[in-house]
Chains A and B, each alone.
Chain A
Amino acid sequence: MRHAISVLVENKAGVLARIANLFSARGYNIDSLAVGETEDPSISRMTIIVRGDERILEQIEKQLNKLVDVIRVSDFLETEHLERDLTLIKVAADKNTRLEIMQIVDIFRAKIVDVGSSSLIIEMTGNEEKIKAFVEIIRPFGIKEMVRTGVVAMARGNK
C-alpha cells in the first residue's frame, strides 16, 4: 500500500540525513521525498511517499517520531487530502507534432513553458495518477527528459 507521510522537522543541517538513514537502515524504500520551508522558517516539512503494509507504516511513523529533530508526524490514512506533484517534461516536437501535443497539453490543463526548434518543455501539476496518465499519452512523441519535484500533500478543510 502507498502512504503519504508528512513530517515537520527542525530546519537544521543533518536532519535530512537522519531521516534518510532511518529508511535505509530498515530497508524501507522511499518512493518520493519533498522538502521545503514552512510558514515558520525554522521548520521544514517533508512529504514522504512510502510503500508497505500498515505495520511497516506504523513502525516508520514511530521511528520518525523518535528522532529528536522531528516535531510532528502525520499520515493521511483517514484524512481527506490533496496531493500535488510538479513535473517538467521535455518532449520531442517538430512542426508535424507540435499542434497535436499542444492539444493534449490543453486537455490536461498543463502548460508549455519553453519552445525549442525540436522540443517543448511542458509543466504539469497534479496528483500522481493524472501525471502518469499524461506521461503515457505524451510518451509516443518521445520524452527526452523528465524531472519531478516529488509529491507534496495537505489535508483539506480546517485540519
Chain B
Amino acid sequence: MKKTGAQILIESLLKEKVEVVFGIPGGVFLPTFDVLYDSPIRFILTRHEQGAAHMAEGFSRASGKVGVCFATSGPGATNLVTGLANANMDSIPMIAITAQVATNLIGNDAFQEADITGITRPVTKHNYLVKDVRDLARIVKEAFYIAQTGRPGPVLIDLPVDVQKAECDFSYPAQVDIRSYRPNYQGHPGQIKKAAEMINHAQKPVLYIGGGVITSGAHKEILALAEKAQLPVIWTLMGIGAFPSVHDLSLGMVGMHGTYSANHATQKSDLIIAVGARFDDRVTGRLDKFAPGAKVIHIDIDPTSISKNIKVDVPIVGDARVIVEEMVKYVAKKTKMTDWHKQIEIWKKDFPLTYKKDNKLRAQYVIEQISEITKGNGIITTEVGQNQMWSTQFINSKTPRTFISSGGLGTMGYGFPAAIGAKVACPDKVVFDIAGDGSIQMNIQELATAVQNKIPVKVAILNNGYLGMVRQWQQLFYKKRYSGTVLSGNPDFVKVAEAYGAVGIRVEKKSDVKAALQKAIKIDKPVFLDFRIEPEENVFPMVPAGAALDEILQGVA
C-alpha cells in the first residue's frame, strides 16, 4: 500500500519506538502534523525551537534513548542551531526533523527557506536533505543508527513539503548498512594488556573519567576497576554520576573549578587512565604544564579525541564498557593504602570544598540542601555560570544520567528545557534545574510548555542580580569593573511563575530553604524558587585561565 512521506516519517518514528516529540509546527510542516495528530506519539508543543532541541537532548540524557524534535523551515530550523551544537559538543544522540520548502523552490530564496543542512553541517554528526520520498524510510533508519552508535551525536533530517506529500510503498528497513560508517567497539587486546600492566606498576595513578563512561554504560566496570586496583577517581563535568561522588576513592571534578585534591593528584600523578574524556582545556589548564610526570592511557570511541591535546602513550580505541570490563581481568588486586593514597587523604582533609557557613543565604547552601533532599535519586540539570560550577561541587551524584549540564558549549538557557525533557523521560523522578537569574531568562518561555503539558519541574533560581560568573572574572581580573554584567531589570520571578499558571516561592532567609524545597517537591506543578542569594559570592577553588592545574586560587572560606 502506498503511503505519503508524512505517514512514512511518523511510522518510521514509531518503528524506532519514539513516544514523544518536542517542537513547533509551521506552514511547510502541515502534512506531517496532520498525520501526527492521529498517531500515538505524544507531541509537546514548546514555545521556542531552541527549547525543543534542549528538551530532546535532556530526554536523551535522562533516558539513554533518543530524543526527537521538530521545527519548521527557515526560522524554525535556524532556532535549533544552538541545541544541535550543544548536543554535538556533548556527544548526545538526538534527531532533529526540519520541514523544508518544496524541492522545486530550494535555492530560490523562497519564503522561509534556509539552507539548514548547510548551516548545521558543522554542528551535527550528520545530516540529510530528503529529495525523494523513496529514500525517506532508509534515511530515518540510518539517522537513528548514526545518532546512537560510535561517538553519538545529533542528526538532522530536512524534509521538503512536497516529499511529505509524495507517495510510495513503505517498508521499514530491518538493518542499516553504511559502508562508510563502521564504528569499532572492541579495543585492541594487546593494548588492553599493556595498559593493565602499566596500572599494575604505577605508583601514583589517577582514573580520569568523562561522559563516555555514561554513554557506554561503563559505570559498573569503572567502579570494579577503581576498587580492584585502588585507583583514585577524578571526573569531568560530563562524567558526573559515572562514579559515586561519596566514595573513598572519589576526589571530585578536575579542572578550572575542580577540587584541590583532584587537580593536585592529576598534576603529581605518574599515570592517567582516561576513559571517555577528552582533555578539554577547562580540564587541563595550561597544557605545557599539565601532569608533567604522567604517562597517559586513553580509552575512547573517537580516535580524533586521542592525542589531540595531550600526547597519549597507550591509545585504546573502542567502547569504554567493553574495554574496561576486559581490563579489570588483567589488573592486579590491591588492598594496601600506599603513600599516594595517604597523600590524597591529606589533600582531601586539608582542602575540602567549602564556603562561609554564616547566617547568610548562600548559593552553596541551597545546592547542598537540594542534594540532601533529592539524595541522588532525583535528576539535577543546571544552567551555565556560577550556578553550574557550584552544582558540580555541592551535588552528590551516585548514578549516571542524574546530572545533566551543558558541558562543551556552555549554553545558558539549557538547563530549564533540559529539565523538562528529563522529566518527560523520567516522570517519577524529582527534577530540579539549578539556574542563574541570567540563564533562566534565556528560555523562560518554556514555563508555558511545562504548564500546558503538566510537567512539574522545579527551578531553583540562584538570584544574585548578576551574570555572576562573568562578574567574578571582572572582580578578579578586571578591577571590579562590572561592564555589562548587572541584571538590574530582573522580573519578579514569583509573579512570572504565577502569570504562567505555575507556582512561585521566594526565599530570602537561610532558615527557610529546607521548608521551601520540601514544599516545592510536594506541589504537583512547575515551581520557580527565587533564592535571593549573596550577590557577590565567588566560585572557589579556581584555576585562572592560562594557569597550571595546581596554581589554584583558594578564595576565602
Interface residues of A (CB under 8 A from B): 9-10, 13-14, 17-18, 21, 25, 55, 58-59, 62-63, 65-66, 68-71
Q: Once bound together, how far apart are the Cα atoms of A14 and B122, in whole Å?
A: 12
Chain A hits for B126, CB < 8 A: 68
Chain A hits for B122, CB < 8 A: 21, 25
User: With A14-B121, A17-B121 in contact, do A68 and B303 touch (Cβ < 8 Å)?
Assistant: no
Q: Are B303 and A9 in contact (CB under 8 A)?
A: no
Q: Are B121 and A62 in contact (CB under 8 A)?
A: no
Q: Which residue of A lies closest to B150 (CB)?
A: A66
- Mark out the residues of chain B between 217 and 261 whose CB falls within 8 Å of any chain A CB in the assembled complex: none
Chain B hits for A68, CB < 8 A: 125-126, 146, 178, 180-181
Chain B hits for A66, CB < 8 A: 151, 302-304
Give 1 or 0 for each of B154-186: 1 = CB within 8 Å of chain A CB: 000000000000000000000000111100000
> Shortest beta-carbon distance, A59 to chain B, in Å?
6
B103 CB–A CB distance under 8 Å: no
B441 CB–A CB distance under 8 Å: no
Q: Which residue of A lies closest to B183 (CB)?
A: A66
* The residue from A9, A13, A62, A70 contacting B304, defined by CB atoms under 8 A apart: A62
Chain B hits for A65, CB < 8 A: 303
Q: Are B117 and A14 in contact (CB under 8 A)?
A: yes
Q: Once bound together, how far apart are the Cα atoms of A23 and B481, in whole Å?
A: 39
Chain A hits for B308, CB < 8 A: 59
Q: Are A59 and B118 in contact (CB under 8 A)?
A: no
Q: Once bound together, how far apart are the Cα atoms of A62 and B305, in whole Å?
A: 9
* The residue from B121, B129, B151, B181 contacting A18, defined by CB atoms under 8 A apart: B121
Chain B hits for A69, CB < 8 A: 180
Add 8 more A-B contacts to A13-B129, A71-B180 (CB < 8 A). Answer: A18-B121, A21-B121, A55-B307, A59-B308, A62-B303, A65-B303, A68-B146, A68-B180
- 29 A-B contact pairs sorted by A residue (CB < 8 Å): A9-B180, A10-B180, A13-B129, A14-B117, A14-B121, A14-B129, A17-B121, A18-B121, A21-B121, A21-B122, A25-B122, A55-B307, A58-B307, A59-B304, A62-B303, A62-B304, A63-B304, A66-B151, A66-B302, A66-B303, A66-B304, A68-B125, A68-B146, A68-B178, A68-B180, A68-B181, A69-B180, A70-B180, A71-B179
The 7 closest A-B pairs by CB, nearest first: A71-B180, A62-B304, A68-B126, A62-B303, A68-B181, A63-B304, A66-B304
> Shortest beta-carbon distance, A74 to chain B, in Å?
14
Chain B hits for A63, CB < 8 A: 304
- Mark out the residues of chain B between 272 and 326 whose CB falls within 8 Å of any chain A CB in the assembled complex: 302-304, 307-308
Chain B hits for A17, CB < 8 A: 118, 121
Q: Which residue of B lies closest to A72 (CB)?
A: B180
Most chain A CB inside 10 Å of its own CB: which residue of B126, B151, B180: B180
Chain B hits for A59, CB < 8 A: 304, 308
Q: Once bound together, how far apart are the Cα atoms of A21 and B127, in whole Å?
A: 14
Q: Once bound together, how far apart are the Cα atoms of A95 and B180, in whole Å?
A: 56
Q: Once bound together, how far apart are the Cα atoms of A65 and B146, in whole Å?
A: 14
Chain B hits for A18, CB < 8 A: 121
Q: Which residue of A lies closest to B127 (CB)?
A: A14
Q: Once bound together, how far apart are the Cα atoms of A154 and B529, in whole Å?
A: 66
> Shortest beta-carbon distance, B510 to chain A, in Å?
48
Q: Which residue of A lies closest to B304 (CB)?
A: A62
Chain A hits for B303, CB < 8 A: 62, 65-66
Q: Once bound together, how far apart are the Cα atoms of A22 and B329, in whole Å?
A: 39
Q: Once bound together, how far apart are the Cα atoms of A117 and B237, in whole Å?
A: 72
Chain A hits for B178, CB < 8 A: 68
Q: Once bound together, how far apart are the Cα atoms of A10 and B181, in whole Å?
A: 11
Chain B hits for A14, CB < 8 A: 117, 121, 129
> Shortest beta-carbon distance, B532 to chain A, in Å?
43
Q: Once bound together, how far apart are the Cα atoms of A122 and B178, in whole Å?
A: 44
> Shortest beta-carbon distance, B85 to chain A, in Å?
12
